[in-house]
Amino acid sequence: MNEKLTVNPIECEGHGACAELLPELITLDEWGYPIIDDRPVPPFLERDARAAISACPTLALRLLRA
């Protein structure tokens, strides 16, 4: 997989579920909004990335082809 994570900043409401499920690639800023490592998602994190995407209450997180 050569994909990277991206967040739609308009949809994102800063619930923070993504950072809990994928702390390796997502941290939260001081207001609770995700800061995303936009390098290609390494294979060993693919499953967690998909979990983070499914957990987003506003469907703001997505994988894009890198």
Contact residues for other proteins (CB under 8 A)?
A: 8-14, 29-33, 35
Residue 35 Cβ vs other proteins, minimum distance, rounded to whole Å: 8
Which CB atom, from 32 or from 42, has the smaller least distance to other proteins?
32
Cα–Cα dist 49/55, whole Å? 10
Find the shortest distance in angstroms from Cβ 49 to other proteins.
19
CB of 8 to other proteins, least distance (A): 5
The CA–CA distances, whole Å, from 14 to 7, 21, 60, 65 equal 11, 14, 10, 24
